[in-house]
Structure 1
Amino acid sequence: MHVRTLTGGLAATLLMSLPLLGGQASAAGPSGGSTVPAAAAARILTYDASGSAEFKSAVDRGAAIWNESVDSVELRPAASGQRANIRVLADNGWPRALPGSLGNGTVYIGRQAVNQGYNTVRISSHELGHILGLPDRKPGPCSSLMSGSSAGVPCTNPYPNAAEKAEVEGNFSATSRAPAPRPVLVGD
């Protein structure tokens, strides 16, 4: 996220100074002379956590974790009146995600898992991972976010591992716009 912000600022500075330079702006490659394409902008996905009740801060933190972890997609709270890509709701069932097309769907932060002692930020981050295209990976270790409940109640790790990050980066890269998956209930 910080790299993207710095890169965007550098690009803006180059564009602003283009008239002063009297030519075209290009980025120098590792050898100093070749040009390299600018980094692709992150795909912005909005989420509406207004129905997440007592879990709103956990949902916001889960989104922030994904923003810290990947560059190809960014999760932002939806503006008032804006239709969100992701709707987050609280209910008394088990946590689950209902993905639509990639980056779109509904997440339920179920109180059943919370009442059993599972960490709310891990739940939020895990369920958002489904919306970003990741499947459950059970059984799995605590180091795997998508291992979900199989890592046990003591596991509070809300961060995706390197493979999970790479998969999301691939899902949202400009060259890899996969066809929309069929809606599937993903429960954990």
Structure 2
Amino acid sequence: MHVRMLSGGLAAACLVSLSLTGVQAAAAAPQTAAAPLAPRVLTYDAGGSAEFRSAVDRGAAIWNESVDAVELRPAAAGQRANIRVLADNGWPRALPTTLGNGTVYIGRQAVDQGYNTVRISAHELGHILGLPDRKPGPCSSLMSGSSAGTACTNPYPNAAEKAEVEGNFGDLRVGRAPAARAEVIVD
């Protein structure tokens, strides 16, 4: 008991001396804000995207600038990618398997008709991120795809599209499994 009283008196004396010197003593406040969750990293392999490689990289960068819940990175050599990107002579399309996984085709047919390659890339990656087509739609909607016309070069998702991707991947960041998707999305 004597030790307890002595240490209590010592603590009181320290607080008094600190207050006399102008220093405030405060208990450390518990951290109430949750630490931000790390983004879900998805890798992509654009090795088969031929002349569209820079457009694919730019489309991925646009998604990285636009959302926090997911990050698209080029796959390292020998690493199996979540997303494969290929160029072909058909119309652009995406074949999602599960959320964040699948194959994207950057079709030369749309490019030959005058559609913007970066918009095509960002749009098709949007399908892999769980977004459906929203046709017809305005140029301000990335997922309006070809219905916005060849004059539309906007490669950025709008606020609703960003929020939908954040919601899709927010569940994954807290441990919920992605749903299987077995559909071909032809734009």
TM over 0.5: yes
The one of 26, 38, 43 equivalent to 1:41 is: 38
| Structure 1: gaps (5+ residues) | 1-27
Q: CA deviation at 1:183?
A: 1.3
What does the per-residue CA deviation read over 1:34-87, in whole Å, with 9 as the maximum and x for residues that have no partner?
A: 511100100000000000000000000000000000000000000000000000
Q: CA deviation at 1:182?
A: 2.3
Letter in 2 for 1:177: R
Q: CA deviation at 1:181?
A: 3.1
Q: Contact 1:170–1:176 at 8 Å: present in 2 too?
A: no
What does residue range 108-147 of structure 1 map to in structure 2 within 5 Å? Answer: 108-147=105-144
Identity over aligned pairs, percent: 82
What does the per-residue CA deviation read over 1:101-125, in whole Å, with 9 as the maximum and x for residues that have no partner?
A: 0000000000000000000000000
- Whose Rg is larger? 2
Q: Contact 2:138–2:144 at 8 Å: present in 1 too?
A: yes
User: 2-side partners of 1:176 and 1:41: how far apart?
Assistant: 12
User: 2-side partners of 1:180 and 1:109: how far apart?
Assistant: 25
User: 2-side partners of 1:177 and 1:171: how far apart?
Assistant: 10
What does residue range 8-157 of structure 1 map to in structure 2 within 5 Å? Answer: 35-157=32-154
Letter in 1 for 2:119: R
Letter in 1 for 2:156: Y
Q: Secondary structure in 2 aligned to 1:50?
A: strand
Cα 1:155/1:84, change in 2 over 3 Å: same
**How many residues were matched structurally?**
158
Letter in 1 for 2:176: R
Q: CA deviation at 1:148?
A: 0.1
TM-score, scaled to structure 1: 0.81
| Structure 2: gaps (5+ residues) | 1-27
Q: CA deviation at 1:176?
A: 7.8
Root mean square deviation, CA, Å: 1.5
Q: Secondary structure in 2 aligned to 1:109?
A: strand
1:180 and 2:161 are equivalent in the alignment: no
User: 1-side partners of 2:117 and 2:180: how far apart?
Assistant: 27
User: 2-side partners of 1:178 and 1:68: how far apart?
Assistant: 25
Q: Secondary structure in 2 aligned to 1:181?
A: coil
Q: Contact 1:52–1:109 at 8 Å: present in 2 too?
A: yes
Letter in 1 for 2:123: H
Q: Contact 2:40–2:71 at 8 Å: present in 1 too?
A: yes
